[in-house]
Structure 1
């Protein structure tokens, strides 16, 4: 069925039956595959060169830009997706902005050059503000909220452009760059809180849960891709070896276990019952998503080192896998706790598993990287089995 030429934009029903991600939303998500892949590949390069820790802050800054761009679109679409021609065209403009952002990821991650990222954001947010203005004009009930979003996003974008101008002209000293970035991040996160004080938007809980689940799958897929790049690098330097096979299998098992654990808690029902806690759940996913992206980089280097030497030590490589995995497990319990009566896995069990995982790299010098990664995967499998046995389900 062809899209309508134009539909009056009004808030969609909170309890709309059978609400699922649209083909346009799925296409929009694909633009982020490019951005995440670029960020993960750069972090893997930094880890292999022994600069992973030094470059971590830059990675987290770049990933925030990617994640927040996705968030802006996702929550608006859950409340106001009309799927008419103007909506589709403005979404296409946003996709173009994301691709410009993705093209700027390497420069931002290596040289702190956020020019392309800022320009991508500007393109994307011109379209996003237009969407919010349209919602404000056509939806009388949600007008104040929509216009607050439009104003807040516009002011914040001006802040990012100002930061770029100050950096380019040398008016922003290097020591002040990170604090300036942090202040803008806090203000960005405050815009939804301020805008929705007048009247909350009508986002659909099951739709939002599905959208977050799909982005989780995208990040897991990126980790598979990154690990595959590592295997390819190892194969270019040597033939198939036992350590390489162990790494490949262990990486797949680890990612499969994390996928299983994430989907054990039905988030849609919890979001529907506790809408006022959606900020804790939604914002908390930044850490979950960043951990998955960083894990992909760690797995890539761990696979690559089985074929040829890298500058990073076995201890550093193992921690590049262990730390993101541990962070993911801990945050999984923290994020789901506000919306679930009994989050699965239980936070105590997840924390215990995370502690074990963080201790395993200490054996890297004696056991080797593949053995440590296999042990990390085994620990996650045990946690998965215990969580399923405790009554974990899925949506």
Structure 2
């Protein structure tokens, strides 16, 4: 929460933003539910097309809160109004491709209009991503909601692509925006926590409905180990590096766009897929999983780890070898896991994630020991703590 005496680098998240996030806890749960019922590639595509506007609504509000002092009655009410529109979107997700398409499109369009109104005093704000949301992607989602499923999916995909391309198309205009470097990493880390919370729900809600014998408890322990390992990868080894990168970057706009807006879309999507996979494995750990469930669990984990290779390159132009190799191993194991009991599938993935964290810990310890003697870290490593060394 910013005050009159704070510098631009000291902006913090407000209580209104944290309350706003509660809507998206529910929204992520709804997207997970949609994916739970459709494991094929078509189902994944439909869930992603719905998730992008939900995520982009949150991103738009986060950017608005970053570049303005939102701890005022007007802006608090504005954030709450966007939250209500987001709640309508979340309610529409389960029936997005049936009778609730209009509700999702109308909720998204309303959210984009509200965000533009909140920023209307910023010169030329409509000639940028916020204008795209009001004039292009919002109408596409609304009109798509009126059409049958096939044309609806096409229009919604176009709307999602328009939103995602906005920061690139208006890159030069966004260069004039003064971003608060401390606020942005905190906000995106909180959204990732929301997704990781969904992985806990995927474990607990399923386990609570079964008999909980030794196999189920072992599956719960293995799934929790995976979730905790994914948390460890980000919050122990990556979060500090991301905060450092956006603070010292020559172009904060590029770091925010590449690492946060795009990179975290992939991170959160990966965690949601893992969460859905947990629900399938914990339910009956003795049975073999189908290809769809294994693909969600291992594919989501692989995507999550592979994204760190992307973010490290975007920040430091360095290769995250350990995570890329780990992601490749996870992807390669998918065919072998399809016919194995769910408990074995979970245990194997848990062992891989724990092993990766151990390797990262050793690398960080060695890098920290080398800094005092050499005076500079290895290429691409910034001497700002363990997180930067690993990331």
Q: Is the 8 A contact 2:89 2:104 kept in 1?
A: yes
Deviation at 1:118, TM superposition (A): 0.9
Deviation at 1:83, TM superposition (A): 1.3
**Pairing 1:86-125 to 2, within 5 Å after superposition:** 86-108=74-96, 111=98, 113-125=100-112
Distance in 1, matches of 2:92 and 2:334, equals: 34
Corresponding position: 1:393 with 2:386: yes
**For residues 320-347 of structure 1, what are the alpha-carbon distances to aligned partners after superposition, in whole Å with 9 as ceiling and x for unaligned?**
21110011100122123211365xxx53
TM-score by length of 1: 0.82
**For residues 97-139 of structure 1, what are the alpha-carbon distances to aligned partners after superposition, in whole Å with 9 as ceiling and x for unaligned?**
011001001002x638522211211232232111111x32xxx
**For residues 228-283 of structure 1, what are the alpha-carbon distances to aligned partners after superposition, in whole Å with 9 as ceiling and x for unaligned?**
122123x2xxx322221221011111011111111212211101223133321121
**Pairing 1:214-363 to 2, within 5 Å after superposition:** 214-233=190-209, 235=210, 239-263=211-235, 264-265=237-238, 266-274=241-249, 275=252, 276-281=254-259, 282-306=261-285, 313-340=289-316, 347-363=320-336
Distance in 2, matches of 1:381 and 1:251, equals: 12
**Structure 1 residues 314 and 183: alpha-carbon distance in aligned structure 2, compared to 1, 3 A threshold:** closer
Q: Which runs of 5+ in 1 are unaligned?
A: 137-142
Q: Is the 8 A contact 2:218 2:343 kept in 1?
A: yes
Corresponding position: 1:381 with 2:343: no
Q: Which runs of 5+ in 2 are unaligned?
A: 365-384
**Pairing 1:163-202 to 2, within 5 Å after superposition:** 163-165=144-146, 167=147, 174=150, 176-195=151-170, 197-198=172-173, 200-202=176-178
TM-score by length of 2: 0.83
Higher relative contact order (CA 8 A, sep 6+): 1
The match for 2:135 among 133, 150, 155 is 155
Deviation at 1:387, TM superposition (A): 1.0
Distance in 2, matches of 1:148 and 1:122, equals: 16
Q: Is the 8 A contact 2:16 2:80 kept in 1?
A: no
Q: Is the 8 A contact 1:79 1:203 kept in 2?
A: yes
Deviation at 1:212, TM superposition (A): 0.8
Q: Is the 8 A contact 2:271 2:304 kept in 1?
A: yes
Distance in 2, matches of 1:164 and 1:43, equals: 19
SS of alignment partner, residue 111 of structure 1: coil
Deviation at 1:300, TM superposition (A): 0.7
**For residues 168-199 of structure 1, what are the alpha-carbon distances to aligned partners after superposition, in whole Å with 9 as ceiling and x for unaligned?**
xx6xx82x544433332222223334555235
**Structure 1 residues 365 and 328: alpha-carbon distance in aligned structure 2, compared to 1, 3 A threshold:** closer
Distance in 2, matches of 1:269 and 1:355, equals: 28
**Aligned residue pairs: how many?**
359
**For residues 135-158 of structure 1, what are the alpha-carbon distances to aligned partners after superposition, in whole Å with 9 as ceiling and x for unaligned?**
32xxxxxx1346645533321223
Distance in 2, matches of 1:158 and 1:181, equals: 10
Runs of 4+ in 1 over 6 A off after TM superposition: none
Deviation at 1:288, TM superposition (A): 1.2
